Structure 1
């Protein structure tokens, strides 16, 4: 559930309305319609501000402040948002005749209400930030305890790796490289949400995304997600060049199958996947370097897709025995037929296949 979906905002509105009812129960004669409307409007506007729906540039500038200054400015800003929300809601309710107060009374917040609204908003924001930290689907699964006991399930995995990140760090330093990774990871988030995937982990300059197998192959979501990410990066070419002097290139590998999923950890819990599928996907992503292909997919996943997304073509590369595996894997390269390949001349590709054959095994098939 992404922050742009109707479901997300309906849940936020419902939770905020319940806090409005709680305020009436604690500080008035009981829950009432006006109080629930106040709660809904205040909660939705506060979360919209915190999520950057409006005043995004301002909140971004706040985050650049020293830590103590940031917390102080952020709290003051949230209080102002709450006060303005109360005033606007009161004006609307007074105009509609829902509250029987003079205009000044309707738009002037009560001093006792502001701390309550601030506390409730802080609770919602804290929960959302935990959700951000571990991922929405992981958060729900931890709350429900779905993986307290190991579960075997079928999943599709997408491993994404930023090409050239080590060289960039050597030229510009680790801090600049981290800023680049942060920007790339942020750009990846929206396409992953759009195609109903979940980001499972960040490992250095690598991102691991997954889907339950049925969801990932339906409408070829896992493939569509890869190319949506690549197009999003290309669409912001000028911005990337101005900020970092390059347009990020991602190597991608798609593979899937049976894994064991379990909740692990004591002080810090996470949901982890175990099985050969994870190792095989990592090896497949490494094969991108050898084949000079940006996107590789295993036969195991490709054969389950009902159809490839429009404009995407698949090229069979043969079977490879990946490092650490006794069995071979049939591998295909995916490309956007509407764009030129990023690899060089065909001779370079053929030469690289020979290298791959020496390092792994000669392609079969």
Structure 2
């Protein structure tokens, strides 16, 4: 199973668990020491059975709606429109839930009740409001998780970043080539749109298990836990996957911006510290020489006429790969007292824009 499908299943699993807990909470609140005014009245044990059999299914439907919003709508839609669409999907989800409940609940209780009476049964409106609120809340939580990157929201809630701790990580500094020329030619508004489009297309690197750490102007910083970045050459393939994605849209970029954006990148691996910073705007921050070295390596791309450079340290840890590495010598990087040996990646595929 590839990483994209794993991510989809993780979303569906999260929503199934979330909805099971949400319905369990509702069942406990309404079922312990309370009586229903309407015709629909489960005993507590029957309600629990309904929760643990049906809630995961409804959660999976809600999760799939979230996948559609993320993969098909997010890049093409403003936040305002996305919220409206997500609310519409929530209402659709609620409609499916009510219709499914109508097919299941009356036969279980032995009730003869019309669909209209079932929908507008006493006490139903608060439940509908609860369901819509939970669905939108879960979508909002997922958006926050996306902003923090990876699985960092859950880690923050566990307090894993409160104290600085060490991790072995790979960092890639990815920078737009000829950015000054593009900015002067396009003007700042159209140039900003170009950057926005490029970084939307950068989402393809998620399939290479990359975490997008930061966007800084026309530069993006990607990171991997070392084991994830080394597996299947993910840290290298991410660059060529992104390049391939831009090449697929060559006609679009030429028509819209009269240019095909190209990027250069520097990679390094090593120990960094990770911690939670900020009081009113919290962020996960990485510190250490590993990051500074990756940035300096990327800064040598123009000078050496290369699009992808990496440190000897990372090159050795990649082991046997389908990529040829051309040594570029020991180079004294700005801010470092000792020279660093760097290599240029030379993919062996005929089309260097294609993922390896």
TM-score of the aligned structures, taking structure 1 as reference length: 0.79
Q: How many residues align?
A: 333
Return the alpha-carbon distance in structure 1 between the equivalents of residues 74 and 221 of structure 2: 31
Identify unmatched segments of 5+ residues in structure 1.
343-365
Query: Per-residue deviation at 1:112?
Result: 2.5
Q: Report the Cα offset of residue 74 of structure 1.
A: 4.9
State the secondary structure of the residue aligned to 1:303. Answer: helix
Q: Does the CA contact (< 8 Å) of 2:148 and 2:284 recur in 1?
A: no
Q: Please report how far the alpha carbon of residue 336 of structure 1 lies from its aligned counterpart in structure 2 after TM superposition.
A: 2.5
In structure 2, the residue matched to 1:86 is 97
Matched, 1:232 2:245: yes
Rounded Cα–Cα distance in structure 1 between residues aligned with 2:70 and 2:233 = 34
Counterpart of 1:136 in 2: which secondary structure? coil
**Residue 187 (str. 1) matches residue 190 (str. 2):** no
1:287 alignment partner, one of 300, 309, 312: 300
- 1:267 aligned to 280, 291, 307, which one? 280
TM-score by length of 2: 0.81
Unaligned runs of 5+ in 2: 32-42
Question: Taking structure 1 as reference, are residues 62 and 185 closer, same or farther at Cα in structure 2, changes over 3 Å only?
Answer: closer
In 1: Cα distance, 2:209 partner to 2:331 partner: 30
Do the aligned partners of 2:24 and 2:48 also contact (CA within 8 Å) in 1? Answer: yes
C-alpha root-mean-square deviation of aligned residues, in Å? 3.2
Question: What corresponds to 1:196 in structure 2?
Answer: 209
User: CA separation of 1:59/1:189 partners in 2, compared to 1, >3 Å: closer, same or farther?
Assistant: closer
Q: How far is the alpha carbon of 1:117 from its aligned partner? A: 0.4
Once the two structures are TM-superposed, the CA of residue 258 in structure 1 deviates from its matched residue by 2.0
SS in 1 for 2:349: coil
For residue 345 of structure 2, what is the aligned residue in structure 1? 334
Counterpart CA distance in 1 for 2:75 and 2:224 is 32
In structure 2, do the counterparts of structure 1 residues 233 and 258 end up closer, same or farther at CA, with 3 Å as the change threshold?
A: same
Q: Which residue of 1 aligns with 2:232?
A: 219
- The one of 161, 164, 172 aligned to 1:150: 164
**CA 1:117–1:327 in structure 2 vs 1: closer, same or farther (change >3 Å)?**
same
Cα 1:103–1:335, aligned 2, differ >3 Å: closer, same or farther?
Answer: farther
Q: Which moved further from structure 2: 148-157 or 3-12? A: 3-12
2:13–2:60 contact (8 Å) kept in structure 1: no
Measured after TM superposition, the shift of residue 156 of structure 1 is: 1.1
Deviations 1:40-83 (A, max 9, x none): 44444344334435994599556476xxxx86x45752553233
Distance 1:55 1:129, change over 3 A: closer
Decide whether the 8 Å contact of 2:177 with 2:262 is kept in 1: yes
Of 301, 305, 309, 2:318 maps to 305
Greater displacement, 297-306 / 140-149: 140-149
Q: Which has the higher contact order (CA 8 A, sep 6+)?
A: 2
- Give per-residue Cα distances to partners, 1:4-28, cap 9 Å, x unaligned: 4312311211111221222223335
* Counterpart position of 1:111: 125
Pairs within 5 Å for 1:1-365: 4-28=7-31, 29-30=43-44, 31-36=47-52, 39-53=55-69, 56=72, 60=76, 63=79, 73-74=84-85, 77-90=88-101, 93=104, 100-101=110-111, 102=113, 104=115, 108=119, 110-191=124-205, 193-308=206-321, 310=322, 312-339=323-350
- Looking at structure 2, the residues matched to 314 and 88 of structure 1 have their Cα atoms a distance apart, in angstroms, of 60
Indicate if the aligned counterparts of 1:157 and 1:255 stay in contact, CA closer than 8 A.
yes
Structure 1 residue ranges, 4+ long, deviating more than 6 angstroms after superposition:
none
